[in-house]
Amino acid sequence: MNQLSIDRQATVISALVEGNSIRSTERMTSIHRDTIMRLMVRVADGCDRFLDETMHGLTCDRLQLDEIWCFVGMKQKTAQRLGKAEEYGDLYTYVGINAQTKLAVAYHVGKRDAENTHLFIHDLRRRVVNRPQITTDAYQAYFGAIVRFFGQNVDYAHEQKVFASELNTGRGRYSPPVLTSCDKQAVIGDPDPAFISTSFVERQNLTMRMSMRRFTRLTNGFSKKRENLVAAVCLHFAHYNFCRTHKTLKTTPAVAHGITDHVWSIEELLTAVAGMQQLSHSN
C-alpha cells in the first residue's frame, strides 16, 4: 500500500496534471517512478468512480464532441506489422464538452470505430437529462450512435473543416494547415446555426496535449500500456473539472455548472477519491 503523506501525494499529482512525465516527476520529488505510477493508477481509479457518480442529471444546452489521437507502445503501422494492433497502436480519446460551462461531461478511450463511438455516446446520453444541441465533426459513426441513443430528442449538426493540402507551398513541416472552408449542416432536429461549432472541444484537445505528457507529439513520453493512458485521462478530467481554474470562466467548470460551490484543491480531490474507494471496498 502506498504510504506517502497526503501532501506528498498532492505534490506528485500536481506535477502529473501539469504535463510532467513520470521520470521528471521522479527527479523533482525524489519519489521512485514505480511509486509514482502506482499512485497515479490508484488515484485515477478513484477519479473514474468519482466522475461516474458525480456526472449525472446534467442539463447541457450545447454539447461539442470530438476525438483526439495518440498511440500506445508503437505506431499503428508497426503494431499491424507485428500483429499487435489490438494491444498497441492508435487510440483516440473521445470528449464531450458543454460549450457554456466548459464542463467535460463524458470521455472514452478506445479505437476510432463504430463500437467505441457507440460506447461514448451511450455514456454521454445517460448523463444528460435535457434535449441538447450536439455538434460533431463529419465522422460518420457519430450519426448512427446519436440516432440510437438520443433518437429524435436531440438537435444534431456536424461541422466539416477542410484544410489546405500539405503539398501546398509556403507551409512549414510543423506548421498547421490553412483552413480553406467550413461546412455546417443540420442533421437531426433544428439546431441553431449560430451555435454549430466544435471550437471549444478542439481547444480542449490542446489542453490535453499540454496537460498530459503522454499526448505530446514527437517525444518518447508516449504511454507504454493502455491502462496507464486511461489512468492519465481519468486523472486529467477530474482535475480539469474540479481543480483547474478556466481562464475565461474565472472558476472551474464544475463551479460554473453548479456541481460544486468552490474551486477544489488537489488535497480535496484526493480526499474525495479516497472516500469513493473506501465506499467501494465496504460494498
pLDDT in tens, 181-214: 788 999 999 999 999 999 999 999 999 999 999 9
Task: Report the CATH number at residue 33.
Answer: 3.30.420
Question: Which comes out higher in pLDDT, residue 282 or 64?
Answer: 64
User: How far apart are alpha carbons 71 and 90 in whole angstroms?
Assistant: 4
User: How far apart are alpha carbons 38 and 276 in whole angstroms?
Assistant: 18
Which of 136, 174, 130 is closest to 158 using CA atoms? Answer: 136
Question: Quick one: pLDDT at residue 179?
Answer: 79
**Which 3 state secondary structure label does DSSP give 219?**
coil
Question: Quick one: pLDDT at residue 61?
Answer: 96
Provide the b/e sequence for 194-221 (b: ≥16 CB within 10 Å): eebbbebbbebbebbbebbbbbeeeeeb
Model confidence at 274, in pLDDT bands (50, 70, 90)?
A: confident
179 belongs to a structural domain: yes
1 belongs to a structural domain: no
| Overall domain count for the chain | 1
User: Rg of the Cα trace of the chain?
Assistant: 19
Residue type at 57?
A: G
pLDDT at 248 over 60: yes
Question: Quick one: pLDDT at residue 280?
Answer: 59
Cell of residue 282, nine digits: 465496504
107 belongs to a structural domain: yes
Model confidence at 178, in pLDDT bands (50, 70, 90)?
A: confident
Count other Cβ atoms within 10 Å, centred on residue 161.
Answer: 15
Q: What is the mean pLDDT of the chain?
A: 92
Q: Is the dihedral of CA 142, 145, 147, 153 positive or negative?
A: negative
Model confidence at 169, in pLDDT bands (50, 70, 90)?
A: low
What is the signed CA dihedral for 126, 198, 93, 237, rounded to 10 degrees?
-70
58 belongs to a structural domain: yes
The set of long-range contacts for 253-260, using a CB threshold of 8 Å and a minimum separation of 24, is 253/98, 253/101, 253/102, 253/103, 253/104, 254/103, 256/100, 256/101, 256/102, 256/103, 257/58, 257/98, 257/101, 257/103, 259/54, 259/103
Question: Quick one: pLDDT at residue 283?
Answer: 54
The pLDDT tens digits of the residues spanning 61-83 come to 999 999 999 999 999 999 999 99
Question: Quick one: pLDDT at residue 167?
Answer: 52
Strands 133-136 and 179-188: unpaired
Model confidence at 171, in pLDDT bands (50, 70, 90)?
A: low
64 belongs to a structural domain: yes
The pLDDT tens digits of the residues spanning 105-153 come to 999 999 999 999 999 999 999 999 999 999 999 999 999 999 999 999 9
pLDDT at 8 over 90: yes
- Which range of residues forms the domain containing residue 12? 6-282
Instruction: State pTM to two decimals.
Output: 0.91
Model confidence at 180, in pLDDT bands (50, 70, 90)?
A: confident
93 pairs with which residues across the strands?
Answer: 68, 109
215 belongs to a structural domain: yes
Question: Quick one: pLDDT at residue 1?
Answer: 44
Question: Which comes out higher in pLDDT, residue 276 or 84?
Answer: 84
Question: Quick one: pLDDT at residue 172?
Answer: 57
Question: Quick one: pLDDT at residue 181?
Answer: 79
Question: Which comes out higher in pLDDT, residue 173 or 249?
Answer: 249
Model confidence at 164, in pLDDT bands (50, 70, 90)?
A: confident
